[in-house]
Amino acid sequence: MYKAISKFYDYIQSEIDYNKYAIYFDKLIKRNKKDTKMVIDLGCGTGNLTVLLKNMGYDMTGLDVSVEMLDKCHEKDKDILWILQDIVEMDLYGTYDVFVSFLDTINHITDKRKLKKAFKLVNTFLNDEGLFIFDINTPYKFEHIYKENIFYMIEDDLTYIWENNYNRKNKICDMDITFFEKNGKSYKRYDDYHREREYGIEELTNLVKEVGFEVIGVYKELTFKDIVDKDERAFFVLKKVNK
| Per-residue confidence in pLDDT tens, the chain, 243 aa | 556 677 888 878 888 999 999 999 999 999 999 899 999 999 999 999 999 999 999 999 999 999 999 999 999 999 999 999 999 999 999 999 999 999 999 999 999 999 999 999 999 999 999 999 999 999 999 999 998 788 888 888 889 999 999 999 999 999 999 999 998 888 999 999 999 999 999 999 999 999 999 999 999 999 999 999 999 999 999 999 976
**Can you spell out the DSSP letters for 188-212?**
EEEEEEEEEE---HHHHHHHHHHTT
Residue 166 phi/psi, 5-degree rounding, is -100, 125
Pick the CATH number of 140-197 from 2.20.25.110, 3.30.9.10, 1.20.210.10, 3.30.9.30: 2.20.25.110
Please report the pLDDT score of residue 2 as a whole number.
Answer: 57
Residue 3 phi/psi, 5-degree rounding, is -70, -45
Give this prediction's pTM: 0.95
Domain ranges of the chain: 5-137+199-240, 140-197
Architecture of 5-137+199-240 per CATH?
3-Layer(aba) Sandwich (3.40)
